[in-house]
Amino acid sequence: DTAVSQTPKYLVTQMGNDKSIKCEQNLGHDTMYWYKQDSKKFLKIMFSYNNKELIINETVPNRFSPKSPDKAHLNLHINSLELGDSAVYFCASSQDIGDYGYTFGSGTRLTVV
């Protein structure tokens, strides 16, 4: 069983469209994250949720809206997609906030054309 699963794996869409990426973890973890990895492989935190509550929002444009219906799911909705949104988006989870390693999903490669 996949611990952290993201869908879709690849997403190609036109500028201006709205799209969603879904993430689910079956580890029983309390905390989930979205990271963005750009073409230079820099990983940047976007959002963090702990028990469905938003705890981190790192100056991400408000076109990005995370939603956590329960602590096993953290979805990412993006409105009005722009060329600069093209990147690989990784979902991750950890047991809790603090001294815990993260488990990452395999990533969603978003290409905006």
Partner 1 sequence: SQQGEEDPQALSIQEGENATMNCSYKTSINNLQWYRQNSGRGLVHLILIRSNEREKHSGRLRVTLDTSKKSSSLLITASRAADTASYFCATDGHSSASKIIFGSGTRLSIRP
Amino acid residing at 32: M
Judged by beta carbon, residue 14 or residue 28, the one nearer partner 1 is: 28
Kindly tell me which of 92 and 112 has the beta carbon lying closer to partner 1.
92
Of the residues 23, 25, 105, 110, which one makes contact with partner 1 according to CB under 8 A: 105
Q: Is 48 in the site for partner 1 (CB under 8 A)?
A: yes
Q: What is the dihedral of CA 28, 51, 11, 45, to 10 degrees?
A: -110
Greatest Cα-to-Cα distance within the chain, rounded to the nearest angstrom: 40
Q: Does 95 bind partner 1 (CB under 8 A)?
A: no
Q: Could you tell me the smallest distance in angstroms from the CB atom of residue 4 to partner 1?
A: 8
Q: Is 104 among the residues that bind partner 1 (CB under 8 A)?
A: yes
Residue of 109, 102, 113, 105 lying closest to 39 (CA atoms): 109
Burial class of residue 39, CB neighbours in 10 A (0-12, 13-18, 19+) = exposed
Residues forming the site for partner 1 (CB under 8 A) = 4, 31, 33, 35, 40-45, 48, 50, 55-56, 58, 90, 92, 97-107
